[in-house]
Amino acid sequence: MNLQSLHGLWQFRQAETDEWLPAQVPGSVHTDLLALDRIPEPFIADNELRVQWVAERDWEYRLTFQVFPDVLAEERVFLVCDGLDTLADLTLNGHSMGHAENMFRRYRWDVTTLLTDEENELRIRFRSPVAYIQARQEEQPLVSPSLSIPGGPHLRKAPCQFGWDWGPQLPPIGIWRGIRLEGYSTARLENVHLRQVHTGNRVKVSARATIERWQDADLGLTLRITSPDGQVQEAKALLKSDATTGTLDVEIAAPQLWWPNDYGPQPLYETEVTLHQGEKLRDRYDCHLGLRTLELRQEPDEFGTSFTFVINGVPIFAKGANWIPADSFPTRTSDTHLEHLIRSAAQAHMNMLRVWGGGLYEDERFYDLCDVYGILVWQDFIFSCSIYPIDESFFDNVCVEAVENIRRLRHRASLALWCGNNEMEWGWDTWGWDDPDYQPFKQAYDRMFHHLLPELCAEEDPDRPYWPSSPSSNAFFKEPNSVQAGDTHNWMVWHEGEPFISYRAHDSRFASEFGFQSLPALDTIRTYADESEWNMTSYIMEHHQRNTAGNGKIVTYLTDHFRLPHDFESLIYLSQLLQAEAVRIGVEHWRRNRHRTSGALYWQLNDCWPVASWASLDYFGRWKALQYAARRFYAPILLSAEDWTPAAMHIHDPTQALKNYQAHRESGLQVTLHVTNDLTDQWSGIVRWSLETLEGQRIETGEEAVTAPALSSVCVCELDFAEQVSAGNYRQVALVYELWQDDERISLGVVPCAPDKHLALTDPQLRCTVRENGASFEIEITAQRLARFVWLALEGADVVFSDNYFDLPAGRTASVILPAPEGWTTEHVLESLQVRSLTDSF
């Protein structure tokens, strides 16, 4: 086996022109043009509109190269393209060699007879994806996502690259993944299937290898597993000259189990399968294996049917978010940035990400990080919000894509689920697709998602569950968004305009999408909008907002909760608070009801360009208020307050619901406090509460010892302050609730008796001290009066604080840690530290 990478400096040109320009491979036309200053950065201002022509043209790439002698000496040489985006025709030394039309497939062509030992020339001509989908859409109009260039479903290309309600219309073109020559003699490993069977305290790992061979020779097959502490175990087999498969087993005693984040460590076993002929290595396959059992438990119960991921026998509450591609131009995402995003998810106690069906099957490095950080992956097949073609060639194309991606990812410890698509069953059920003219499309949907894909999954990856669609109740076209079975997308908050407390009336079995938008950090906005545009309804701010009327929605919700801000920066801050509060209210509700609900994945973790969106990490990876809130509301031990009963709420009349909610608060305050324990050990501690004025005068206080059994949520106390809170004082009073263990405060929350906009807040007089502590600084903050949503920032350095946007009641101290930016002193931190709270916004 000999490999020769073809990465590096290529040339490219617009088709039918003469000017060849330098190109970077892997890469894309847009990023190549950008590097040459031929187009402006599409993410700045409205430059997106000025670069539309790029994807409307055809482009050509070429490389001249010498083949390494040892590659050329092999019996067979293949050109392997891990990703061509998308409509590509290839020629090698003038011979037409192949055609590609699916960016999610790996293409492999036998080029043994086409290569020479002199100069070779490889050319790849890419057709415009936009021209293609437009032409196909004219022949056969298909339902496409409303904010996309119509016709996207005609092409197997990331749907969101044609535009989405958070993404620009910038479909890239080019060689977007690895490209190389692979030379083999005698035989190669076509694929390897690793499976694990757990019995008692032993795991049998089996490797089944499928072999492509060109010679009738005896071959040696070896499976070698190295444990995290370096112990090596091996199994060997001799394959007779006609054998095309071979299976090997290794028994691992006392296995070190792989756990999701916060449940235990993520030990990985180095695993290697090699194919030999005599002493000669013919091929090898390497990966990292995490040993664990996985089950999606669906059992009838008093609420319907459960939907719970069970890892190593432990029913997990899935906590996380939805993942979209990290850049409109995927080849721009650096390893460091990708790791920052996944690490941020883990730091916020997430244990699951859903790779959403409008994006991509991600790179190996994404799943490597998920394996390492203990992030389970809910993997959608890449279909979203559309009606797709029904011809056989489309089905054949998808079958190859599905098999390849299943085989590529099935050994992953992190991979938890294959899911058919995003919101398409919902489309058939609720969005008016079920028209008589569309019946053949509905039948094709049924065939694809209820037969073909589950059958391929069962055959290629029998150890992993398949789910037909998100959302679905697994009843095929019946109530896909049911709260009794399966997963739900809860869009009554935001899309339907209902108040945040509506989440409490939606007892999902597994909430796989729900969310609220906000603006990104000012430093992020600065990269795309001039100061003259720093206004919610300016042209550029609306250009960087893709959800119709999204900015207006933020403003409307803002007026429900907060006073109008006095400047743009405060508007950003308030938009982020709204987002954090909305999602917190949903998640806390579902976590309190963990006997019924088994997961909450908010929409969405990240962004693909700088924009106002549902993301908690913006395009540059900056933590919005929601990301910090997630670190609190996803903590394994959660103290939460429920201050309203859903039964009394008019969820179908949002305005009335909010009025009721406020009226209720004016005539007292009823609150229940709950401890949710997601851990596998019982947890004991103390809950302390205090009804107090904004200045910190205690009206009533209390304390409860609490023991929360493993994997449970308990109601700690029911508090009724009908006597203490009245129309006369409710704007000056708040309930503070704290969780303590071993003299340490673990969390603190506040329920103000009036909506924030009506609270009688005044300057809390925040005071800070800074102390150096090795590689970090510790900031201590105190407040004289209740400070809502204390916000810290360091001018001149992007840092992730240990906590941010938190409440600080009168007389309490908060301690926040920040990693020391290189060369910074305590004085430097003090000078650059910005501290604000809600009163600074109006």
Stretch that binds ligand BMA, among 164-172, 312-320, 399-407, 672-680 (CB under 6 A): 164-172
Decide if residue 166 touches ligand BMA (CB under 6 A).
yes
Cα–Cα distance, 612 to 592 (Å, whole number) = 30
DSSP, residue by residue, 228-275 = TTS-EEEEEEEE-TT--EEEEEEEEES--B---TTTS----EEEEEEE
Asked whether the CA dihedral 503, 506, 508, 512 is positive or negative, the reply is: negative
Window of 136-144, 162-170, 713-721, 834-842 that interacts with ligand BMA by CB under 6 A = 162-170
Find the part of the chain contacting ligand BMA (CB under 6 A) among 40-48, 163-171, 649-657, 670-678: 163-171
Candidates 422, 472, 481, 627; binder of ligand BMA (CB under 6 A) is 422
Tokens of 425: 């069953």
Cα angle vertex 706, ends 703, 712, to 5°?
A: 140
Query: Would you state the structure tokens that stand for residue 398, as one six-digit string?
Result: 């998808």
Minimum CB distance to ligand BMA, residue 60 (Å): 34
The single residue among 156, 410, 489, 591 that binds ligand BMA, judged by CB under 6 A, is 489
The residue count of the chain comes to 842
CA atoms of 526 and 610, how far apart (whole Å): 10
Enter the tokens of residue 61. 């790439």
Q: Of 258 and 356, which CB lies nearer to ligand BMA in the complex structure?
A: 356
Q: In the complex with ligand BMA, which residue's Cβ is closer, 166 or 176?
A: 166
Distance of closest approach, residue 359 Cβ to ligand BMA, in angstroms: 10
113 DSSP 8-state letter = T
CB nearer to ligand BMA: pick between 306 and 512: 512
Range 496-515, binding ligand BMA (CB under 6 A):
513
Q: Does 423 participate in catalysis according to the annotation?
A: yes
Nearer to ligand BMA, 464 or 553 (CB): 553
| 517 versus 837: smaller Cβ distance to ligand BMA | 517
CB of 489 to ligand BMA, least distance (A): 5
Residue 601 in tokens: 């994945």
Helix 568-592 vs helix 625-633: crossing angle, to nearest 10: 20
Other Cβ atoms less than 10 A from the Cβ of 449: the count is: 23
165 binds ligand BMA (CB under 6 A): yes
Q: In what order do the strands lie in the sheet with 219-226?
A: 232-239, 219-226, 269-277, 280-289
381 binds ligand BMA (CB under 6 A): no
Structure tokens at 218: 């005896």
Q: Of 159-167, 387-395, 529-537, 786-794, which part binds ligand BMA (CB under 6 A)?
A: 159-167
Between residues 27 and 358, which has the closer beta carbon with respect to ligand BMA? Answer: 358
Which of 174/610 has CB closer to ligand BMA?
Answer: 610
∠ Cα 487 490 493 (to 5°): 170
Q: Which of 242, 241, 252, 257 is nearest to 206 (CA)?
A: 252
Site string for ligand BMA, 303-342 (x = CB under 6 A): ----------------------------------------
Cα–Cα dist 333/608, whole Å: 10
Q: Which is nearer to ligand BMA, 128 or 422 (CB)?
A: 422
Q: Which residues pair with 739 in a beta bridge?
A: 687, 747
Least spacing, CB of residue 491 vs ligand BMA, in Å: 6
Smallest distance from ligand BMA to CB 333, Å? 19
Pick one of 107, 164, 516, 661: the residue that binds ligand BMA (CB under 6 A): 164
C-beta of 259 vs 381, nearer to ligand BMA: 381
Q: From the CB of 495, what's the least distance to ligand BMA, in Å? A: 6
What's the rounded Cα separation, in Å, for the pair 543 and 168? 9
Smaller CB separation from ligand BMA, 508 or 690: 508
Residue nearest ligand BMA, CB atom distance: 165
d(CA 606, CA 624): 10
Q: Which stretch binds ligand BMA (CB under 6 A): 160-168, 208-216, 408-416, 520-528?
A: 160-168
- The residue among 603 and 777 lying less far from ligand BMA, judged by its C-beta, is 603
- What is the closest distance, in whole angstroms, from the C-beta atom of residue 351 to ligand BMA in the complex? 21
CA angle 43, 46, 48 (to 5 degrees): 60
In the sheet with 806-808, reading across from the earlier edge strand, the strands are 806-808, 787-794, 833-836
Kindly give the pairing relationship between strand 776-782 and strand 767-773.
Answer: antiparallel
Find the binder of ligand BMA among 385, 409, 790, 838 (CB under 6 A).
Answer: 385
The tokens describing 39, both together, are 């187009």
Q: How far is the CB of 136 from ligand BMA (least distance, A)?
A: 22
- Whole-number minimum distance, CB 422 to ligand BMA, in Å? 5
E strand map for 694-812:
698-708, 712-720, 733-741, 744-752, 767-773, 776-782, 787-794, 806-808
Q: Minimum distance from CB of 356 to ligand BMA (Å)?
A: 6
Considering only residues 190 through 249, tell me which ones interact with ligand BMA, judged by CB under 6 A.
none
Tell me how many degrees the CA angle 400-402-403 measures, rounded to the nearest 5: 65
Q: Are 553 and 497 in contact (CB under 8 A)?
A: yes
Query: Alpha-carbon distance 266 to 276, whole Å?
Result: 32
How buried is residue 30: exposed, middle or buried, by Cβ count under 10 Å (0-12/13-18/19+)? buried
- Segments of 518-602 assigned E as strands: 599-602
Q: How far is the CB of 613 from ligand BMA (least distance, A)?
A: 8
At residue 719, φ and ψ (nearest 5 deg) are -110, 135
- C-alpha to C-alpha distance for 253 and 190, rounded to whole angstroms: 30
CA dihedral 159→160→163→168, nearest 10 degrees, is: -150
Number of residues binding to ligand BMA, judged by CB under 6 A: 10
The mark string for 547-586 relative to ligand BMA (x by CB under 6 A, - otherwise) is ----------------------------------------
Torsion region of 542: left, alpha or beta (phi above 0 gives left; psi -120 to 50 gives alpha): alpha
- Among the residues of 297-382, which ranges form H helices? 335-347, 364-373
Q: How far apart are CA 789 and CA 808, in angstroms?
A: 8
Could you tell me whether strands 376-380 and 415-419 are parallel, antiparallel, or unpaired per DSSP bridges?
parallel
State residue 48 phi and psi, 5-degree precision.
-50, -40
User: Which of 371/513 has CB closer to ligand BMA?
Assistant: 513
Choices 158-166, 476-484, 661-669, 813-821; region in contact with ligand BMA by CB under 6 A: 158-166
Q: Which CB, 469 or 690, lies closer to ligand BMA?
A: 469
Q: What's the min distance (Å) between Cβ of 506 and ligand BMA?
A: 15
Find the catalytic residue in 60, 362, 404, 423: 423
Does residue 603 bind ligand BMA (CB under 6 A)?
A: yes
Least CB distance from residue 669 to ligand BMA, whole Å? 34
- Residue ranges that bind ligand BMA, judged by CB under 6 A: 164-166, 358, 385, 422-423, 489, 513, 603
Q: Any idea which residues carry the catalytic annotation? A: 423
